Amino acid sequence: MFESKAARLSVLALAVVITIALACDYSDPTAEPSRHTETQTSGLTSTSTPVSFTYEEFCRQYQTMTELQQEQYAVSVVGTRVRWTARVEDVTQQGRIDLESVEGYYFIWVYLDGVPIDQASALNKGQLIEFEATVRETGTGRLGVGFAVYLDDPVMISPE
């Protein structure tokens, strides 16, 4: 009885390890995650004209693309200045604002860096904010799944 129970536990443990490996894509542990970064300083200020697509339009566009189109799109948006309205999912100890996903669009994570800590600490979960920022980097999302967008050089429009 002990051997069969141990065998079942071993098979279960192996299944868990395989599932995690597939979800996290550990096929090449030396490989860097897929990321696209801005190679030069954009020099944009709050007076720069932001791109006219909304956060929701961005998510909709991304999720209707093929894998190849998504890769090309990820590269093309780096350095873009955006003006978005989104809800706060969380604020980290470092002041990074994690934005909620747009309802109906999953596996897209957006992080807003560079907001002064006094402004970031005044925000609440679920609070609607409007801001301008520059897409600094795009890459693979949480646990190797989906798409992540890193924004910085923010100008908070509301709340101020």
| pTM of the predicted structure, to 2 decimals | 0.68
**Furthest C-alpha separation in the chain:** 73
The pLDDT tens digits of the residues spanning 5-51 come to 444 434 333 333 333 333 333 333 333 444 554 433 333 334 455 56
Catalogue the long-range contacts made by 21-24 (C-beta closer than 8 Å, 24 or more residues apart).
23/143, 23/144, 23/145, 24/143, 24/144
